Amino acid sequence: MNKEEQISQQSSEKKGYHLLNSLKTKLFLFSSFLTGMIGLTLSIFFLLQIRNVLIKNMHEHGMHLIEILSSSSAVDLYLGNADRLNSLVQSFALDPNVAYISIMDNTGNVLAHSNPQEIGKVYQDELDRETISTAKPSIHYHQRSKKEGKFLEVCSLIIPSAGTVVEKALESEQGEGKINALGLVKIGFSLKGIGIERNKIFISSIGFIFLFIVISAVISFLLSSGITRPLDQLAVVTEIIAGGNLAVRAKIKSKDEIGKLANSFNSMAEKLQITTEELKAANLFLEQRVKERTKELEASRDELKKEFDELQRWKKTVVGRELKMVELKNEIAQLKARIGS
């Protein structure tokens, strides 16, 4: 097995090792959590924005309707034509956003209403009083009951248009400089429609949000893999070098910090390999010198032993001769003694 196959095999073995403790998993979980939080935050933000836009549109729509209804009902209100007023109210009540419409005189008596049962009742609440006191259209949120929910109520004075016969008649009756109000018109918009519309938009946007999260998760996985893959390879190379194979190198071509780390690591591994090879060469040289010196000492020892053996033989020879000389002297002395006797 070559070095590249060894690195690839060990990298594959490390993929399933301590999955929850791996840097890739932590980066993926963190980025997925962050993406989910961003998606949730954006969803809440857009829902609030959508609700605000819908309410704003309802405000504008309400002001537009009440302006038209106020100018359209002035003549009939002045003439006391209840049937025309009710027909006008019923035509405006066809708007799907309108919950109810009422037209009242200055005393709060209901002259026309989208619900015929309310005709003849006397209304005058805070919104009516504010409209009368300010002489401007007023907008309030009102909850009639838990079942019906909240309503957006728009109230305005019914004032005849400038230059009309009704305005001139009122000026002659009430005098110039006074507010020639004939009564009040009130339109109630149910906020349930806003909630339904918002839910529709939310449901339709769930798919886009889910797609955004999935794409973000895939990108997070790819980014985390791109970060951790070279680190895994570097860890494997480190283990191989620790096992004694100093020739292996990390093949990381990126130009980022991880690439710089890999280059520094390869440089360190190369220096370590050179130093190790130099140490091995020095050890081999020392071993060779020791062997040569040992051979020299052994040769010297053999030479000394040989000389020592020669000396021993020479000593034995000399001593033997001396002993023979002594024996000869003794024999000569004995011979002399025999001859003299």
Strands 110-113 and 98-105: antiparallel
Most confident of 21-25, 182-186, 249-253: 182-186
Residue ranges making up the domain that contains 171: 44-200
What does the pLDDT look like over 232-247, one tens digit per residue? 787 788 888 788 787 7
Residue found under tokens 């005058």: 124
In a domain, 113, yes or no: yes
Angle, to 10 degrees, between the axis of helix 23-79 and the axis of helix 82-92? 160
CA 145 from centroid of its chain's CA atoms: 44
In a domain, 225, yes or no: no
In a domain, 281, yes or no: no
How far apart, in whole angstroms, are the C-alpha atoms of residue 148 and residue 72?
A: 29
Q: What are phi and psi of 297, to 5 degrees?
A: -65, -40
User: Two tokens at 85?
Assistant: 């007023």
Contact between 186 and 127 under an 8 Å Cβ cutoff? The reply is: yes
Domain tally, the chain: 1
Q: For position 180, which CATH number holds? A: 3.30.450.20
In a domain, 10, yes or no: no
Q: Rounded to whole angstroms, what are the CA distances from 316 to 309, 324, 333? A: 10, 12, 25
What does the pLDDT look like over 76-116, one tens digit per residue? 887 888 888 888 889 888 888 888 888 888 788 888 898 88
- Check: pTM over 0.85? Answer yes or no: no
Does 16 score more than 50 pLDDT?
no
Contact between 24 and 224 under an 8 Å Cβ cutoff? The reply is: yes
User: Two tokens at 283?
Assistant: 């050890």
User: Two tokens at 155?
Assistant: 């109230």
In a domain, 128, yes or no: yes
Sorted by sequence, the CB contacts under 8 Å of residue 90 that are 6+ apart come out as 114
Contact between 103 and 73 under an 8 Å Cβ cutoff? The reply is: yes
How far apart, in whole angstroms, are the C-alpha atoms of residue 2 and residue 198?
A: 63
Does 147 score more than 70 pLDDT?
no
Q: How many CB atoms lie within 10 A of CB 55?
A: 15
In a domain, 39, yes or no: no
Contact between 233 and 265 under an 8 Å Cβ cutoff? The reply is: no
What does the pLDDT look like over 254-288, one tens digit per residue? 777 777 877 888 888 888 888 888 888 888 888 88
Q: Which of 264, 76, 273, 70 is nearest to 184 (CA)?
A: 70
Q: Which of 20, 33, 9, 67 is nearest to 217 (CA)?
A: 33
How far apart, in whole angstroms, are the C-alpha atoms of residue 152 and residue 194?
A: 11
Does 8 score more than 60 pLDDT?
no
In a domain, 146, yes or no: yes
Confidence of residue 20 (pLDDT cuts 50, 70, 90): very low
Instruction: State the chain's mean pLDDT as an integer.
Output: 76
In a domain, 298, yes or no: no
Confidence of residue 176 (pLDDT cuts 50, 70, 90): low
What does the pLDDT look like over 177-203, one tens digit per residue? 555 678 888 888 887 777 777 777 777
How far apart, in whole angstroms, are the C-alpha atoms of residue 174 and residue 180?
A: 7
